[in-house]
Amino acid sequence: MNVEIVHLSPYVNMPVDQNYIISCFKEASRHPEFQFQNKWWSAETWAAVINKFCIFYESLTFSSKKLICSINNRKHRHLQDEIDLRTNIPIDHVGIFQDKYRVHGSKTTSWFYYATVNGKKTFVKKETK
């Protein structure tokens, strides 16, 4: 298990693990006063916003790479299944969606996340004729 130990004081050690990162992400996505909702944001933007507004100790901050790894970890498969939905959104849905984007010819993939009210869809596709 990959756990990083951070020091808040000489007497306290607190691990920054994937469950902590997931809980920070879920908590930040539910705050309408920060206006995080109803927008597609990259993982880099989400990590920066969470670190700035939701984490009070610098030693507990994390990178976008750690956010992506935490969400896509096998032990959080139930979360992945829920945020990958596009149709038949249940009422008790977590309210977070993910999508990945790769520029043609590039080897890197960018991850984007969308937060909304629980049970609400990200967007409605308009039919074109």
Strands 40-42 and 110-115: antiparallel
Residue 96 located in a structural domain: yes
Say if 65 falls within a structural domain: yes
Range of the domain at 78: 15-115
CB atoms within 10 A of CB 70: 21
Bridging pattern class, strands 110-115 and 4-9: unpaired
**Counted domains in the chain:** 1
Asked if residue 124 is part of any domain, the answer here is no
Question: Does residue 45 belong to any structural domain of this protein?
Answer: yes
- Assigned domain for 1 exists: no
Question: 3-class DSSP state for residue 41?
Answer: strand
- Asked if the structure places residue 77 within a domain, the reply is yes
Buried b (16+ CB within 10 A) or exposed e, 25-52: beebbbeeeeebbeeebebbebbeebbe
Write down the residue that tokens 């596009």 correspond to: 86
Per-residue pLDDT of 9-61, as tens digits, reads: 544 455 578 999 999 998 888 877 666 678 889 999 999 999 988 888 888 88
pTM reported for the whole predicted model: 0.75
pLDDT in tens, 72-81: 998 888 888 8
Q: Is residue 9 part of a domain?
A: no
